[in-house]
Homo-oligomer: A and B are copies of this chain.
């Protein structure tokens, strides 16, 4: 996926060669059976203690930002409807997951740093044998606590009354049977502890933090918008958007986060290698797409992080082509931009390769420019640089290359935006276009994509406004346009900023023209 930037390590071509390959059965099973594929390593495993420590650290940082006069309410995501009574797989709201690792719907977390009695309260639906018979196991309080490390847990039915008490600055006492777990032995709940918050609210100085509060309404965060609307004015609370707090924290990945992202990337690498094999005998884009989603599920990814882009020939010039409905043509390039999501972290990797395994010279010329732009982007990456620096480095190489090929006539103009119309980089993490300020100086632990591209859309010249200047431009570049028409190339790698520069997290996946050709030749032979 592209949106808007790496000192290059030696390219680690770490593909394992194994024995035992066989040809797929005639027309029955169009499956890739090959020996050259780099298999996904085992998933990272963390102990409960490691996870509790990590989550407690995250919550402590959030609490610090919320402050002693504030409270934060995090609702879980609403289920997304497919049609009628069928829903998509449930996916937790990222920031609630970031603080709890809890995957169930109907959960709410309230963090009130100034409350020394119950600074963290988790609201959870009570287990229900009937619901579990139909829809599967629910967390009990013990399990929710074991996962999240939170030790004050109330039944979800208490949330509404609790919020009303909060608003009216009244101490709240849940029904004893609704206190599913309490950190304070012998006590029956947090009837107090909100004094500091209420005192601040009495002076109109309390802060009520909700995700997306104050932003224009979108399809996410509808519970938050409704809560803000219901809360109303004059309650002594200043309604604050909690997203910037999380954006700031999530921009810097911890070692645990980096390990999870590496695993999502490794699964994606395997999927792409399998796809390179399959594409040799597949007839349709969707058959290659099938191998990708197969690999994601086989390796127990949560899901894709975004719908796979599998575009052959001119389809590769459409940035988010997700239909996969065209035939594969042996002489064409196939652009694949795919990313597995693992434990809420998504990969985002693009490779463009020839269906028949061999680049034409025109394809290789375009490809090499994009490759060189990536290298320049990597060289521009270091702590203290910015995403703009990285983008500038890649763009300069693209401009030079386009001028050399005759696809632009003026490097000082914005002509190159016709062929490279997106930025080089976006942050990557729990969202494919991850949260974080794009003005930030790069720091170790930040992860972004390095994804320049060149797209010679077959209708690009027809879409230019008619003007004498444009006619002159079109005449000048027409020969080059005809030569490169319908070629689309994007190469996208996932970059981790390090103390010394950058780590290519996607290093295990062939990327040079010669490496891709060699891999395909080897992998498709038996």
Contact = CB atoms under 8 A, between A and B. Distances in A.
Interface of A: 18-35, 37, 39, 78-86, 88-89, 91, 94, 129, 132-137, 218-220, 274, 284, 286-287, 289-291, 293-298, 300, 305-307, 317-323, 325, 421, 430-433, 455, 457, 459, 463
A298 to B, nearest CB: 4
A133 B421 contact: yes
Contacts of A218: 81
Given A89-B322, A293-B294, 11 more contacts: A28-B34, A29-B274, A79-B219, A81-B220, A83-B91, A83-B220, A86-B431, A133-B318, A133-B319, A284-B300, A293-B297
B294 A463 contact: no
A434 to B, nearest CB: 9
19 contacts: A20-B28, A22-B22, A22-B24, A25-B33, A28-B39, A29-B31, A29-B33, A31-B32, A31-B33, A80-B88, A82-B91, A82-B306, A84-B220, A84-B433, A86-B305, A89-B322, A134-B318, A136-B322, A300-B325
Nearest to A317: B133
A35 B25 contact: yes
A209 B209 CA distance: 41
A223 to B, nearest CB: 13
Nearest to A318: B136
A148 B218 CA distance: 31
Contacts of A293: 293-294, 297
Nearest to A18: B28
Contact of A321 (B26, B28, B136, B294): B136
Contact of A25 (B21, B26, B129): B21
Contact of A134 (B21, B290, B306, B319): B319
A405 B27 CA distance: 46
A291 B298 CA distance: 8
Contacts of A457: 133
A288 to B, nearest CB: 10
Nearest to A27: B39
A330 B137 CA distance: 23
Given A290-B298, A294-B294, A306-B82, A26 B30 contact: no
B31 A31 contact: yes
A431 B85 CA distance: 9
Nearest to A77: B83
B286 A290 contact: no
* Centre residue among A19, A29, A136, A323 by max chain B CB count within 10 A: A29
A500 to B, nearest CB: 31
Given A23-B22, A86-B431, A300-B284, A132 B318 contact: yes
A241 B322 CA distance: 35
Contacts of A220: 81, 83-84
